[in-house]
Amino acid sequence: MDVPADALAPTPLSPAARALKEIAFGSIAGMASKVFEHPFDLTKVRLQTQVLDDSARFNGPIDCLRQTFKNEGIRGLYRGLPAPVVGAMAENASLFLSYRELQNLIRQFTGDPPSHKLPLHQLTLAAAGSGAITSLVLTPIELVKCKMQVQLLAPASALGIPVTTASGSATVPARLPGPISVLMSVIHTSGFRGLWLGQSGTFIRETGGSAAWFGTKEYVASLLIARRKKGSQNSDSSSPHELLTWESALSGACAGVAFNFVLFPADTVKSAMQTEEELRPRGPGATAPKSTFIGTFRQMYKAQGIRGLYAGCGITIARSVVSSAMIFVIYDELNRRFG
């Protein structure tokens, strides 16, 4: 007996199931990439936050990695890892979910069917919107991460923990505040609003960066698919609209470069603002107004110019080539196998 063709077609997922799928796939991809890239992210933050110091602690990314490993060991290279792992899961889940749902919203607005592939400018618009949404989730997590990554660079008094005195010099105890302690300290001193310190920088970075990230990935992927279609007289078993693994990796790598280079200064300013309390404490009774995004940007530009605003950019782009490729390969493979 013949089975109708439509009976063999996969059942469309419900909106709730589709959302759970996006959250799960994005979380797995983000977590895997973050474990790889964390030592390089820590290096980036430490280089960014020394721009406003009178003297530089590190001469560059290699020196920063070397000193961190020498003084703090392998644990030092992964200092603050729990926060960015949670952050990467939340960031990528939010990015992929909101990116897909905003595409559906655009299709509803334009009257296109659900299967319609949006043009690049509409995909980029959906990507920018997904970045704006994700920035609200990400800022508190980034705040905790940055504060933890500079803990051993801060004066002991700025850590809010007791110090012991040995031979007349203050030393910081080996036990440093964990992510929950840092989070509660921020809430205690600044209230819940304090968790969104640096939101302007995160918003700018995520909105423009996500547009560049997804837009570049979609554009490079379309070029690779078109190239494969053009030369596929010899029968290729793969779907002409489905990316091969190496194509996902290459388009993802290009996307990582675009994301990090486009608005890197916004990330530098954000890192400086989020670690000011630790690295440049004002002292008791200080009445100076709180730092603003524009004010910090001006200070950093005055201190070191464009070079200072791009501190740590080289190592960030180098690691993003691998980590972004990992994210899209894992996400695309999960979609292919379980989507």
For 56-109, how does the pLDDT look when each residue is reduced to its tens digit (9 = 90+)? 788 888 999 999 898 888 888 887 777 778 878 888 899 999 999 999 999 999
Give 291's pLDDT tier (boundaries 50, 70, 90): confident
Tell me which amino acid residue 83 is.
Answer: A
pLDDT at 184 over 90: yes
H or E stretch including 169?
strand 169-171
Kindly indicate the confidence band of residue 165, based on its pLDDT and cuts at 50, 70 and 90: very low
* CATH number for the domain running over 15-161+176-228+240-280+291-331: 1.50.40.10
Closest among 123, 178, 191 to 145, alpha carbons compared: 178
Does residue 239 register a pLDDT over 70? no
Asked whether the CA dihedral 149, 153, 158, 163 is positive or negative, the reply is positive
Whole-number Å distance between alpha carbons of 117 and 128: 17
Tell me: pLDDT of 175 over 50: yes
Phi and psi at 311, nearest 5°, equal -60, 125
> Per the confidence metrics, is the pTM higher than 0.85?
no
pLDDT at 285 over 50: yes
Name, of 13-17, 278-282, 310-314, the range with top average pLDDT.
310-314
Residue 171 confidence class, pLDDT cut points 50, 70, 90: very low
